[in-house]
């Protein structure tokens, strides 16, 4: 059962002339998993998002910290669902800003050296950023790796983002909020719905305006007006919105 106030808000959003439905991927459309390569959308969530993208005057998108190539592979979304990777840096049409590849290589080398003697600490190099993952490390190794990364970053001109057991350094300054604004303008959306679970999603929540719907998944402080417990609830909300949108005559 969805919170009654969320159901009411989704009913109103379903009647928008032009609707944009957006979501984070990990921890929202997909469960959080130990091996990032194992993440997949919950079938109900994926099916509902694809179906929404097929309705008239309705757009659907994923905005993720994943590299765009990985998001495309793991989500298995068709072209009808727009994909934005690297926290808003990567669109299908290219990067939002120029990339400093020399700095990117420096960061990757430094973080790889930090992780080398710490089991469970891994480094993920993306087209516009490098992420240090500590989810599978011991507390002591994870804390030591994060501290060393912060020390190294003092000499880098980067945009740092902290998430759930991850520290990411981007060589361009962009975020999910900017990506949301770009999508809203591109598709002339009257109402935006956004689902997210991590601190990186808060910048998107803060870009929402009157009539928009932000849904926080799980615990933690948030700027979102609504909250659900788990990715299964996101599936329920997407299915509810799909049904309400279809019943509103937008099918």
**Which residues are catalytically annotated?**
24
Within 116-230, residue ranges assigned H as helices are 139-153, 176-187, 202-205
Residue 247 tokens read as: 């019943």
What's the gap between Cα 124 and its chain centre? 16
CB 196 within 8 A of CB 231: no
Class of residue 158 by CB neighbours under 10 A (exposed 0-12, middle 13-18, buried 19+)? buried
CB 74 within 8 A of CB 66: yes
Q: 156-165: which pairs have CB atoms within 8 A and are 24 or more residues apart? A: 156/103, 156/106, 156/107, 157/100, 157/103, 158/103, 158/107, 161/65, 161/87, 161/200, 162/199, 163/65, 163/198, 163/199, 163/200, 164/27, 164/32, 164/135, 164/198, 164/199, 165/133, 165/134, 165/135
Q: How far apart are the C-alpha atoms of 216 and 220, rounded to whole Å? A: 9
Helix (H) or strand (E) holding 121: none
Residue 194 tokens read as: 């956004």
Residue 106 tokens read as: 């420096």
């Amino acid at each position: 059962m969805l919170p009654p106030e969320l159901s009411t808000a989704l009913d109103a959003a379903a009647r928008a002339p032009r609707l944009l439905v957006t979501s984070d991927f990990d921890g929202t459309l997909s469960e959080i998993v130990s091996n990032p390569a194992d993440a997949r959308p919950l079938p109900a969530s994926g099916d509902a998002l694809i179906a929404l993208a097929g309705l008239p005057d309705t757009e659907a998108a994923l905005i993720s910290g994943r590299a765009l190539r990985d998001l495309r592979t793991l989500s298995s979304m068709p072209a009808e669902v727009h994909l934005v990777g690297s926290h808003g840096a990567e669109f299908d049409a290219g990067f939002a800003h120029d990339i400093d590849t020399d700095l990117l290589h420096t960061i990757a080398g430094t973080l790889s050296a930090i992780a080398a003697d710490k089991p469970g600490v891994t480094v993920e190099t993306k087209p516009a950023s490098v992420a240090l993952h500590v989810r599978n490390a011991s507390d002591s190794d994870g804390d030591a790796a994060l501290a060393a990364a912060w020390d190294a970053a003092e000499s880098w001109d980067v945009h740092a983002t902290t998430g759930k057991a991850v520290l990411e350094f981007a060589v361009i300054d962009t975020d999910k909020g900017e990506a949301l604004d770009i999508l809203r303008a591109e598709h002339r959306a009257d109402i935006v719905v956004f689902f997210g679970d991590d601190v990186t999603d808060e910048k998107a929540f803060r870009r929402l305006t009157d009539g928009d719907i932000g849904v926080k998944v799980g615990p933690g402080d948030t700027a979102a007006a609504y909250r659900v417990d788990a990715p299964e609830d996101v599936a329920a909300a997407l299915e509810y919105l799909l049904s309400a949108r279809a019943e509103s005559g937008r099918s």
